[in-house]
């Protein structure tokens, strides 16, 4: 088996890699179910073979990230997605029958799911395994070739990802690209048959502009500010447990982490106290706890400290919720709550992507829903309630990529649920059957048999044709 392991660092190399895969896709435009199953099975085996190497690499790239946390948030959902795709692939590939208009009978119609060709995947640094190999699962299941641009901030992890690809997939299927922002920019300018980008909204604008040059269909997985709404009926202790799980995991460096809290004024102090107690259980030594993850680099740390400095200068009270240790240490920053920050502050304008947690209060639930409605549509919304009517109101009135009731983050690990944003949080979806559809072209196929009834309506259009069309119109 021939495999590749080159790092492309020039425009010409990226261009050549794309057209090599494009030619291969044209030679075999519809890989069999067996070939696709084989690729997925090989990927699964290689991932399991490199488990320890991946966990060690992630630890090095982040500076501190517990193996158990990396396994939970990266490997477990990825393996579940591979197994789900293998199990359902044959069903997904089966053409779907459609009805034919009576005027066309006798005939048959179906939708045939055809591979798009060459899919580009641009992955971020915060979940460098899940968000690079996850899209690869759907693209391979749909029968495509794939080019992946990996994040330059995770060189150790990228090295292991290359080994996984080399073990699992022949060069007929994939090219792996690394490099800085200029390489990512050139990568997104290639005439892909589909392009998936996961990252910030600001870069998403650039990716979309580049894709528009070739009218490349695109899936954007962005982020935004995902609210956590605490309804009056919520169990505050349970809310705190689930909130800490979703916000402290990976030190808040998750696109669907709760970004800010909305609760009633009389719930606020109790909720904060419950959060502090839960954090003390998770991380008894505060930021010095070995299970508390580092921020990926100093730039991210400085960005978050800048939010805190701006808020404090504006008179916002900012409390360290992890007082068992220092506020920061060796690339770690304690989880802080920011009390009622003004919407004009950067912490309320930007996606936080770290361990800062603004908390806002409302009087009536309708006010909280209105507040969320007036802001850009989030990738996720979290609702804590014991009332079915609260859930119904959020389902019907709030547009978000996902809605999770009485938990956080767990929607990402559901192999049979689509994942995607709406509006400012992205467009399109992947995972599950929706991922297969995203990377497939739904081609309509109509086969005509027997006599051509519509042929009776050919020109010249005389009185006879006029009567036939009039009867047909009334019959419709």
Catalytic residues, by residue number, are: 221
219: which strand partners?
196
> Burial level of 425, CB count in 10 A (0-12/13-18/19+)?
buried
Phi, then psi, of 30 in degrees rounded to 5: -135, 80
- Residue found by looking up tokens 């193996």 in the block: 67
- Between CA 113 and CA 94 the distance in angstroms is 8
Spell 272-286 as b/e; 16+ CB within 10 A means b: bebbbebbbebbeeb
Range 207-228 burial, b when 16+ CB lie within 10 A, else e? bbebbeeeebbbbbbbbbbbbb
Q: Of 45, 44, 66, 63, whose CA–CA distance to 55 is shortest? A: 66
3-state secondary structure of 45: helix
- Complete DSSP assignment for 204-222: HHHHHHHHHTTT--EEEE-
**Nearest alpha-carbon partner for 157 in 122, 193, 192, 132:** 132
Which two structure tokens, joined as six digits, stand for 55?
């966990």
CA–CA dist 369, 398 (Å, integer): 7
For residue 460, is the peptide bond before it cis, meaning its omega torsion is within 30 degrees of 0? Answer: yes
Length of the chain: 476
Helix (H) or strand (E) holding 433: helix 432-438
Residue 414 region, left (φ>0) first, then alpha (ψ -120 to 50), else beta? beta
Q: How is residue 168 annotated by DSSP? A: H
Q: What are the angstrom distances between the C-alpha of 81 and each of 16, 54, 446?
A: 31, 18, 33
Contacts of 436 (CB under 8 A, 6+ apart): 85, 89, 92, 113, 138, 141, 142
Is 274 in a helix, a strand, or coil? helix
Q: How far apart are CA 188 and CA 429, in angstroms?
A: 19
Longest Cα–Cα distance in the chain: 92
Please answer whether residues 95 and 111 qualify as being in contact, where contact means their C-beta atoms are separated by less than 8 angstroms.
yes
Q: Which residue is associated with the tokens 């690809």? A: 165
Per-residue DSSP letter, 378: P
């Amino acid at each position: 088996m021939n495999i590749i392991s080159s790092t492309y660092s020039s425009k010409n190399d990226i261009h050549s890699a794309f057209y090599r895969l494009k030619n291969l896709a044209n030679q075999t435009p519809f890989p069999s179910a067996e070939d696709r199953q084989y690729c997925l099975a090989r990927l699964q085996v290689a991932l399991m073979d490199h488990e320890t190497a991946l966990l060690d690499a992630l630890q090095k790239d982040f500076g501190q990230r517990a193996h158990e946390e990396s396994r939970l948030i990266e490997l477990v959902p990825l393996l579940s997605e591979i197994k789900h795709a293998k199990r359902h692939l044959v069903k997904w590939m089966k053409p779907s029958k459609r009805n034919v208009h009576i005027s066309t009978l006798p005939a048959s119609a179906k939708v045939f799911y055809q591979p798009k060709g060459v899919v580009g995947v641009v992955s971020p640094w915060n979940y460098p395994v899940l968000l690079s190999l996850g899209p690869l699962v759907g693209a391979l299941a749909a029968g495509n070739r794939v080019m992946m641009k990996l994040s330059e901030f995770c060189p150790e992890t990228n090295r292991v990802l290359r080994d996984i690809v080399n073990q699992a997939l022949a060069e007929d299927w994939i090219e792996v690209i690394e490099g800085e922002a200029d390489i990512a920019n050139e990568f997104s300018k290639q005439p892909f048959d589909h392009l998936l980008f996961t990252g910030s909204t600001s870069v998403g604008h650039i990716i979309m502009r580049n894709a528009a040059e070739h009218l490349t269909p695109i899936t954007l997985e962005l982020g935004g500010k995902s609210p956590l709404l605490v309804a009056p009926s919520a169990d505050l202790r349970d809310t705190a447990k689930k909130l800490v799980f979703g916000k402290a995991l990976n030190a808040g460096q998750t696109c669907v982490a709760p970004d800010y809290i909305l609760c009633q004024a009389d719930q606020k102090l109790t909720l904060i106290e419950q959060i502090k107690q839960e954090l003390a259980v998770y991380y008894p030594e505060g930021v010095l706890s070995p299970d508390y993850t580092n921020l990926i680099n100093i730039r991210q740390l400085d960005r978050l400290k800048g939010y805190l400095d701006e808020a404090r200068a504006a008179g916002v009270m900012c409390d360290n919720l992890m007082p068992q240790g220092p506020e920061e240490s060796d690339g770690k920053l304690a989880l802080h709550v920011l009390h009622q920050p003004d919407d004009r502050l950067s912490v309320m304008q930007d996606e936080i992507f770290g361990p800062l947690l603004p908390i806002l209060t409302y009087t009536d639930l309708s006010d909280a829903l209105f507040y969320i409605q007036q802001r850009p549509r989030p990738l996720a919304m979290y609702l804590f309630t014991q009332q079915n009517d609260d859930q119904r109101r959020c389902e019907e009135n709030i547009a978000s990529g996902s809605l999770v009731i009485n938990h956080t983050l767990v929607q990402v690990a559901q192999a049979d649920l689509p994942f995607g944003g709406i509006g400012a949080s992205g467009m399109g979806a992947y995972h599950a059957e929706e991922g297969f559809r995203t990377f497939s072209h739904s081609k309509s196929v109509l086969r005509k048999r027997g006599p051509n009834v519509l042929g009776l309506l050919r020109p010249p259009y005389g009185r006879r044709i006029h009567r036939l069309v009039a009867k047909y119109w009334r019959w419709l």
